[in-house]
Amino acid sequence: AQSVTQLGSHVSVSEGALVLLRCNYSSSVPPYLFWYVQYPNQGLQLLLKYTSAATLVKGINGFEAEFKKSETSFHLTKPSAHMSDAAEYFCAVTQANQAGTALIFGKGTTLSVSS
């Protein structure tokens, strides 16, 4: 079975500060990993994905994530937070190259950005 654990249900940063949202995964097979963002009363929007190519993945809005197999981690970072980054962020996992599997999501991390 696959799962992801997001460490910290709530992260607060100041505008301009580094954003670090943590995600650890558990998978017995090579995983595909994703980060999604959800703004209030909206659906989820894909930020970035890891699909076994480059371990450092760049996404939209200046976010990036690094796949570290040895640490089973896929942490999301952004060098400088903006007020518009305030949202809920979800890490998700699925099986690589396996038809018939769906995304399994973590519990989410709410990011607050203060001025």
Partner 1 sequence: DARVTQTPRHKVTEMGQEVTMRCQPILGHNTVFWYRQTMMQGLELLAYFRNRAPLDDSGMPKDRFSAEMPDATLATLKIQPSEPRDSAVYFCASGLTTGDAFFGQGTRLTVV
Summarize as ranges the residues that interact with partner 1 (CB under 8 A).
Answer: 32, 34, 36, 41-46, 49, 51, 90, 94-95, 98-108
Least Å distance, CB 100 to partner 1, is 5
- Nearest to 89, CA basis, from 31, 11, 53, 35: 35
Rounded-to-integer distance, Cα 72 and Cα 66, Å: 10
We find the least distance from the C-beta atom of residue 87 to partner 1, in angstroms, to be 14
Nearer to partner 1, 56 or 102 (CB): 102
Q: How far is the CB of 15 from partner 1 (least distance, A)?
A: 27
| Max CA distance (Å), the chain | 45
Cβ closer to partner 1: 24 or 101? Answer: 101
Question: Which residue number, 22 or 105, has a Cβ lying nearer to partner 1?
Answer: 105
Which residues pair with residue 45 across a beta bridge?
Answer: 37
Query: Closest approach of Cβ 51 to partner 1, in Å?
Result: 7
What 3-state DSSP class applies to 35?
strand
Please answer whether residues 19 and 13 qualify as being in contact, where contact means their C-beta atoms are separated by less than 8 angstroms. Answer: yes
